[in-house]
Amino acid sequence: MNMFDPVVLFFNSAPVMAPAFTDVPPGWSADDMYRYYVTAIQTNSMTGLALCESASDTVMVAFPTGIPEPGKDQISIYPNPAEDYIIIRSKMPVTKVDMMSNLGNVIYTGIYNNADQVRLNTTGISQGIYILRLTTISGILFRKVVICR
């Protein structure tokens, strides 16, 4: 018999025995930053008395609600879903367009000379969901397109 219990964590003065902890403070806002004072205490399983306590620290936690999408307002793709063609309009000049299947296979590559508009013929492409990898003078962007018939 082991005389030590597993480490017990205390959050907001309430012991947490589970391996995961979910906290939803009253008035929770995804834009807020939360601080937790974290310490671990080892107790004696027979007496319940604390045997040792870890060094304590304050942990700051932010809750992101999404990943910003660079260039979102710089590129428009239409029609989407598409049947016969896709038009890409970009405020950032486009130098290359790759269309990839959901398995990552490149099914189309086009090289352009700093184009602000590209028209892709999609008549020979099977219906499905594809990813466009757009290389611009400002970097690489990814967009989803749907081909339907």
pLDDT digits (tens, 9 = 90+) for 24-45: 666 666 666 666 666 677 778 8
Q: How many CB atoms lie within 10 A of CB 12?
A: 10
> Domain check: are 91 and 114 in the same one?
yes
Are residues 80 and 140 located together in one domain of the fold?
yes
Distance CA 3, CA 44 (A): 6
In a domain, 68, yes or no: no
Evaluate whether residue 132 is within a structural domain.
Answer: yes
**What is the model's pLDDT at position 147?**
94
Structural domain harbouring 37: 8-62
Report CA dihedral (31, 61, 24, 70) to the nearest 10 degrees: 40
Q: What is the pLDDT of residues 41-89, one digit of tens each?
A: 777 888 878 777 776 666 666 666 666 666 678 899 999 999 999 999 9
Total count of domains within the chain: 2
Tell me the pLDDT tens digit for each residue of 119-147.
999 999 999 999 999 999 888 999 999 99
Q: What is the domain-level CATH number for residue 140?
A: 2.60.40.1220
CB atoms closer than 10 angstroms to residue 82: 19
Shared-domain flag, residues 143 and 79: yes
Is the whole-model pTM more than 0.75?
Answer: no
Buried b (16+ CB within 10 A) or exposed e, 17-32: eeeeeeeeeeeeeeee
Residue with tokens 């004072």: 37
Query: Are 88 and 128 contained in the same domain?
Result: yes
141 and 94 in a common domain: yes
